[in-house]
Amino acid sequence: MASSETSLLRDTDEATPETYGTYESEDAQPRGTFARQLSAFDGYALLISIVIGSGIFSSPGPIDANVPSPGAALLVWLVGGLLAWTGALTMAELGTAFPGEGGIQPYLSHIYGEIFGFLAAWSWIVAVMPATLAILSIVFVESIYSSFGVNDTAAPITHKLFSLLILAVISTANSISTKTSTRLGNFFVVVKLFSIFLLIVAGLAVVLVYVANRDKDLGGGDWHSRGWFNPRDTVLPDGSKYNWRSATSWELLGHYCAALYGALWAYSGWDKANYVAAELRHPSEQLPLAVNTAIPTIILCYVAANTVYYVLLPWKLISITDAAAVTAVTHFLGKGVAIFAAVLICLVVAGSLLGNSFVAGRMTVAAANKAWLPKILGTVGQFGPWRTSKDETEGESAEEAIDKGESPINALVLSTVISAVYILVGNMRVLLTFNGLGEYTFFFLTVLGDIILRWKEPDLHRPFKPFILIPVIFTVISGFVVVRGAIFAPVPAAILISIWLTGVVFFLLRKRALRG
């Protein structure tokens, strides 16, 4: 999971809410930060590089633990992909109808009022992004342990301390040299695609060997001897077993929602389709083509990779690991090769950590520049009130200073501290649900807002307009997933609600203070 949020710091004078939708052609739209020089294939490649991240290596365990069968797990991956697909198409509509802006905050502000835009930013800064960094730090450490055969999701304090160390190292790296860290992105993209390719090749090798000689199975054995859709008792992280045959329909829905959050984590980044649109030559034509080819490709990769996990591993192992890829390679080729696999996957996770840490800092700076947060969080090149470099950046925008190599150190410190709290008090599976609830509440509101805009502003110029059933499907499914997920996981939901209430109070008090 890695993305670029440079548009959050863009000069918003170039397109105000009053001018949205008034541009009758793409050539007449205001010029954005990036030149329109990408093809549909470039958009396809960008979406794949944004979406495919560490989730494919870490989410299979939490998903498997919440479904009654491997076949059901693969269906969850498929449904998660379809939900991402409908969401990406709707975000593309908003991204082309509201030129010059990026992210969901301006959409929410335009549709519901500024406080909703603030709460989205507040949620990403205080909950979603820190939870993302915490999950990635945990996955990094668990991948290392898994290469040595340790698959205990109820991690001891040493695992948490190592996760804190990784988080601190990544945050420090971003604080020292932001430009260097972002330039590593292409390398990490190659590594993640190469890792998935190796997994699929391993699975095909096991299947072909078994087809050639039924007495020789190099995988886990269950894949050809048990029914893929037959309910089985799931081994939970605490060692107990869950009997799916005794679960009620309401309980099953709760588990499926929790499983879906794991898949949605892996598909994170689909909402960045509008960033791709900003750089396409003809977005109204090329953006649908990019989305409608990239998302199916990602779905195919994810379903194929998870099928391989069930081929390579005994099924009882998948539900208890938070590093399925390393566990699969360890079981298939031994610890020696598993260490190599762990290195590859740790590189993927490190890339996601670097990118998301950078994004978290920029999000905080953007909110501070809008006066939503204290001014000190919008500074660059200084720790607290003290300058950390000799170059003065007064008179420059935060974006210009960052592009020259300055880092938003205060924003990064805030993100690191909040992430550290999540590492200490939570675990990966709780954080996945927490992250999903935080993200999809606002994705639901955004896509619902798109439907509202079609009714309230039917004359809004929409260069790209998917069939109305697309946003309706996303709204219905995401709304149900959020509500049922909150009921199934009341503690993360209660924490999120308290964060939102705190945000409302903070917003109102800050507005009053600024007016005074």
* CA–CA dist 468, 313 (Å, integer): 42
Residues near 355 by beta carbon (within 8 Å), at least 6 away in sequence? 1, 2, 3, 4, 181, 182, 185
Quote the pTM value.
0.81
Which one-letter amino acid corresponds to residue 223? W
Q: Does the pLDDT of residue 263 top 90, yes or no? A: yes
Q: Which residue has the higher pLDDT, 386 or 65?
A: 65
Site of tokens 């993360």: 492
Q: What is the pLDDT of residue 468?
A: 93
Q: What is the pLDDT of residue 219?
A: 84
Q: What is the pLDDT of residue 82?
A: 94
Which DSSP letter does residue 307 get?
Answer: H
Q: Does the pLDDT of residue 89 top 60, yes or no? A: yes
Residues near 140 by beta carbon (within 8 Å), at least 6 away in sequence? 163, 166, 346, 349, 350, 353
Pairing of strands 382-383, 234-235: unpaired
* Tally of CA atoms within 13 A in the half-sphere of 121 that contains its CB: 31
Domain map of the chain by residue range?
A: 36-127+190-347+430-515
* CA–CA dist 321, 286 (Å, integer): 40
Q: Which residue has the higher pLDDT, 348 or 386?
A: 348
* CA–CA dist 176, 361 (Å, integer): 13
* CA–CA dist 271, 477 (Å, integer): 16
The CB density around residue 208, as the number of other CB atoms within 10 Å, is 11
Q: Does the pLDDT of residue 134 top 80, yes or no? A: yes
Q: How far is CA 373 from the centre of its chain?
A: 24
Structure tokens at 271: 């909402």
* CA–CA dist 36, 20 (Å, integer): 19
Buried/exposed 65-79: b ≥16 CB within 10 Å, e otherwise? bbbbbbebbbbbbbb
Q: What is the mean pLDDT of the chain?
A: 80
DSSP letters, 125-183, are IIIIHHHHHHHHHHHHHHHHHHHTT---SS--HHHHHHHHHHHHHHHHHHHH-HHHHHH
Q: Which residue has the higher pLDDT, 27 or 214?
A: 214
* CA–CA dist 77, 295 (Å, integer): 12
Percent of the chain predicted with pLDDT > 70: 80
SS (H, E, C) 63-77: HHCCCCCHHHHHHHH
pLDDT tens digit sequence for 383-407: 666 555 444 445 455 555 544 446 7
Q: What is the pLDDT of residue 17?
A: 43
- Rounded mean pLDDT, 295-301: 92
Q: What is the pLDDT of residue 2?
A: 41
Region of 395 on the Ramachandran plot (φ > 0 left; ψ -120 to 50 alpha; else beta): left
Q: What is the pLDDT of residue 179?
A: 52
Residues near 215 by beta carbon (within 8 Å), at least 6 away in sequence? none
Region of 81 on the Ramachandran plot (φ > 0 left; ψ -120 to 50 alpha; else beta): alpha
Q: What is the pLDDT of residue 12?
A: 37
The CB density around residue 372, as the number of other CB atoms within 10 Å, is 24
* CA–CA dist 295, 44 (Å, integer): 9
Topology of domain 36-127+190-347+430-515, per CATH? Answer: Amino acid/polyamine transporter I (1.20.1740)
Which one-letter amino acid corresponds to residue 446? T
Q: Which residue has the higher pLDDT, 82 or 33?
A: 82
DSSP letters, 220-279, are -SHHHHS-TTS--PEEPTTS-EE-GGG--HHHHHHHHHHHHHHHHHHTTTGGGHHHHHTT
Residues near 105 by beta carbon (within 8 Å), at least 6 away in sequence? 8, 117, 118, 120, 121
* CA–CA dist 278, 101 (Å, integer): 9
Q: Does the pLDDT of residue 440 top 80, yes or no? A: yes
The CB density around residue 213, as the number of other CB atoms within 10 Å, is 9
> What backbone phi and psi angles, to 5 degrees, belong to 453?
-65, -35
Nearest Cα neighbor of 105 from 363, 480, 463, 435 is 363
106-113 CB contacts, 8 Å cutoff, 24+ apart: 106/12, 106/17, 107/446, 107/449, 107/450, 108/442, 108/445, 108/446, 108/449, 109/17, 110/17, 110/20, 111/446, 111/449, 111/452, 111/453, 112/445, 112/449
The answer to whether the CB of 159 falls within 8 A of the CB of 138 is: yes
Q: Does the pLDDT of residue 506 top 90, yes or no? A: yes
